[in-house]
Structure 1
Amino acid sequence: MIPWELIDSAQASGGGELRLYRRGREYSIQVNGSELMNSRIHGSEEALADLACAHIAGLPAPRILIGGMGMGYTTAAALRRLGADGRVVVAELVPAVVEWNRGPLADLAGYPLDDDRVTVREQDVALVLRSEQQAYDAILLDVDNGPEAMTRRGNAWLYGRTGLEAASAALRPAGVLAVWSAGPDRAFTERLRLTGFKVDEVRVPARGKGQGGQQHTIWLAVREA
């Protein structure tokens, strides 16, 4: 078997180290020895965008905020769903992850950061949510491992009541908040409802539609009109 090769590393916010590995055409991003994402398993990241964009289909000049760059699959999926008048803002806290997506990872998802419809902000998505009101038709969060906030304690704010209220305020009426998670979380579902969202919880194959194996969770939370 081809051994893993360390390509680069970067300090993760809040402590720890992010590492980018390559094995042939396969890439892996790990933090403190635990794999966060793998280029062979990205179906649920694409589903996050597909499900959210289906909700806002037909809107003129839709605007989407994506929290978490990952390997670019969610951004690429959103671009495929949007017309020429759509716009995507990607908030990524770790500059190295953006560099990786412009470099060794760029072709995995088809160079989404080269698309003129994309704007990258190298900052915490929480800051974007706090600073904008009724700015987005859809907000997609793929930060950390989901509501459990495995890699950075500060991420817990996003999934708590205050963060969800900020997300609601940043959405336009009838906008959708789509949240990715490695697994279900009943307490998070209840927090979404208590914040005033209409909530659907969807289980999707990690490897993509029609594929078996592990499943991930996506919440679709719609703000009242």
Structure 2
Amino acid sequence: MEPLSHTTAPRTLDRREGPYGEVVLRERGGPGGEIHEIIANGCFLMDTSDGRSERLLMDAAYGALGGRPDPSVLIGGLGVGFSLARAAAEPGWSRITVAEREQAIIDWHLSGPLKHISAAALADPRTTVLRADLVAHLHNTSDTYDALCLDIDNGPDWTVTEDNHSLYSPDGLAACARCLSPGGILAVWSAQPSRNFEDSLRNAGFSGVRTEEIRVARGVPDVVHLAVRPA
């Protein structure tokens, strides 16, 4: 999501070099108080100014399951915590797993400035946080989930690192499908619609491919791409 304009310059709270590059947590003043931003490899990833996109990601995935009893979900990316918080606010999820590869981001939630967003969700007994690269986890795990919600990039066409391109490739989408139970839902957040990604989902064998839009203050809408693993 594009950062909103603010009158004060951002202040760097933490900057770390990790195995996947640099991650930075910044803070800036906004009309409603302090706003935190995550920058990955110089690319704005997300901030705490507006969680509508993340909430829609989780709500759309849960709704698409059509009342399936006790569903489980894997969230790709902890980010600023809105997706996890929304999942934990839904009592219907029986198991909530988050894959986050950056220890810095996990630390910002456990004991840093993002704790106020995610503390209750992290304390929820249904929640497990995996310190793991999502792409590697999808290829190596034997676990399956009823929903897979991805918010690790600015979308299939705008990845944070080069390695993430493989997630949206035929091989990556096949790995997503293998980790879903029959009839399970793949939900992918994107900063812009992608017809090419819709085609890739269909070519990978997913059905019910559709795109839901989230209106933003300026520019093209954010979207959530949804697809079903056939039963």
TM-score by length of 1: 0.89
Partners of 1:31 and 1:166 lie apart in 2 by 25
Give the secondary-structure state (helix, strand or coil) at the position aligned to 1:120. Answer: strand
2:163 counterpart of 1:154:
yes
CA RMSD for the aligned pairs? 1.9
Indicate the residue corresponding to 2:149 in structure 1.
140
Q: Aligned to 2:213, which of 195, 203, 206?
A: 203
Describe the superposition over 1:69-108 as per-residue Cα deviations: whole angstroms up to 9, x where unpaired: 111101111122233x611100001011011122210113
Partners of 1:14 and 1:5 lie apart in 2 by 23
2:17 counterpart of 1:11:
yes
Indicate the residue corresponding to 1:22 in structure 2.
27
2:106 counterpart of 1:98:
yes
Which residue identity does 1:224 align to in structure 2? P
The structural deviation recorded for 1:41 is 2.5
Give the secondary-structure state (helix, strand or coil) at the position aligned to 1:61. Answer: coil
Describe the superposition over 1:134-193 as per-residue Cα deviations: whole angstroms up to 9, x where unpaired: 610000011121112432111011111001001111100100000011111221111100
2:82 counterpart of 1:76:
no
The structural deviation recorded for 1:31 is 2.9
Sort the Cα spacing of 1:115 and 1:205 in 2 relative to 1 into closer, same or farther, 3 A. farther
- The worse-fitting range, judged by mean Cα deviation, of 74-83 and 138-147 is 74-83
The structural deviation recorded for 1:132 is 3.3
Q: Aligned to 2:228, which of 219, 222, 225?
A: 222
Indicate the residue corresponding to 2:135 in structure 1.
126
- The worse-fitting range, judged by mean Cα deviation, of 62-71 and 111-120 is 111-120
Which residue identity does 1:164 align to in structure 2? L
Give the secondary-structure state (helix, strand or coil) at the position aligned to 1:116. Answer: coil
Which residue identity does 1:219 align to in structure 2? H
Indicate the residue corresponding to 1:186 in structure 2.
195
Partners of 2:27 and 2:189 lie apart in 1 by 24
Partners of 1:121 and 1:12 lie apart in 2 by 16
Which residue identity does 1:20 align to in structure 2? L
Sort the Cα spacing of 1:34 and 1:157 in 2 relative to 1 into closer, same or farther, 3 A. closer
Partners of 1:48 and 1:143 lie apart in 2 by 12
Indicate the residue corresponding to 1:209 in structure 2.
none
Indicate the residue corresponding to 1:169 in structure 2.
178
Q: Is the 8 A contact 2:55 2:82 kept in 1?
A: yes
Give the secondary-structure state (helix, strand or coil) at the position aligned to 1:108. Answer: helix
Which residue identity does 2:102 align to in structure 1? V
Which residue identity does 2:80 align to in structure 1? M
Q: Is the 8 A contact 2:108 2:114 kept in 1?
A: yes
The structural deviation recorded for 1:220 is 0.6
Structure 1 residue runs without a partner (length 5+)? 207-211
Which residue identity does 1:23 align to in structure 2? R
Size of the aligned set, in residue pairs, is 218
Q: Is the 8 A contact 1:149 1:155 kept in 2?
A: no
Task: Please give the residue correspondences for 1:55-70 in structure 2 after superposition, counting only pairs within 5 Å.
Answer: 55-70=64-79
